[in-house]
Amino acid sequence: MNFVIFFLTLSLFHLAPRVSAQTNAPVATNAPTPPTPAMKVTSETAPIIEATRETLTKWVETKQLISKEKSEWASGKDILEDRVRLAEAETTTVRDKLKEISTAVAEAQKKRDELAAQNDKLKATAEKSKAMVIAAEKQLRPLLPQLPEPLREKLKPIIARFPEDSEKSTASMAERLQNVLGILDQASAFNSTVASVKELRTFPDGTRAEVTTVYLGLSQAYYTNREGTLAGIGHPGPDGWVWKPDNTNGKKILLAVHILEGKEKGATFIDLPVKIQ
């Protein structure tokens, strides 16, 4: 609206002197046009001129403001475009990272499931092993007193750790399994050999004498003194070894001892009583 007023006022400003000159001057044919006299400022034209000046000033200011806004907008637009490009690049990077993380999480979950499955298998195996160890302990416990005395002495540290009640034992399963295997291993080795040991034996009349005892594995044994006058036969019983005097076979047992000790050369058949259970 201000622009319309400005142009109308400016037009009036230029046309007013001409109209006035045309009205007051005489008409002359082919006469030269005199110069247009300057418009005189009167009380009537002063407000119009002042309003025109103010309007022109505002128009210039407006044009400057528009130019400034356009310049700032162009600069801001470049900044915004740079920020948009940066944000898009960051978004792409974040998406790539998310894909990597998603893949890593999936692989970790897969590995976790595999480990969980292995853990379940190990637990099942551990339970089976525990049941086997408990069963072996229960079977071995009543057999421990029936082991030959030399073997019991050798196994004394293991027997001391052997649980009285397998169901209430607080020892680790590895230690208990080691104890069971240790007893079985030593018992198997002893059972496959003929062992000759020196022992002090107490006889029914209360006398004590040194004898040599020959163990045929875990099931049979013979003892005799140096002269072969005190001899006997032994075998395992429920509460330990049972020894029965047998002096009549003393010389035969002494001969077997000498063969084992290398005092007799050559193989000799020796007829000795054997108790089979």
SS (H, E, C) 79-131: HHHHHHHHHHHHHHHHHHHHHHHHHHHHHHHHHHHHHHHHHHHHHHHHHHHHH
Judge contact between 218 and 236, C-beta under 8 A.
Answer: yes
Residues 6+ away with beta carbon under 8 Å from 275: 220, 233, 235
Question: Rounded CA gap, 65 and 69, in Å?
Answer: 6
pLDDT of residue 8: 43
Question: Rounded CA gap, 274 and 221, in Å?
Answer: 9
Q: Angle 107-104-108 (CA atoms, 0-180°, nearest 5)? A: 40
pTM equals 0.57
Of 242, 206, 197, residue with least CA distance to 224: 197
Q: What is the pLDDT of residues 195-254, one digit of tens each?
A: 999 999 888 788 899 999 999 999 999 999 999 999 999 999 988 999 999 999 999 999
pLDDT of residue 24: 43
Residues 6+ away with beta carbon under 8 Å from 194: 214, 215, 216, 217, 260
Residue stretches of the chain with pLDDT short of 50:
1-29
Cα 110 off chain centre by: 13
3-state secondary structure of 53: helix
pLDDT of residue 3: 46
Helix (H) or strand (E) segment spanning residue 222: strand 220-224
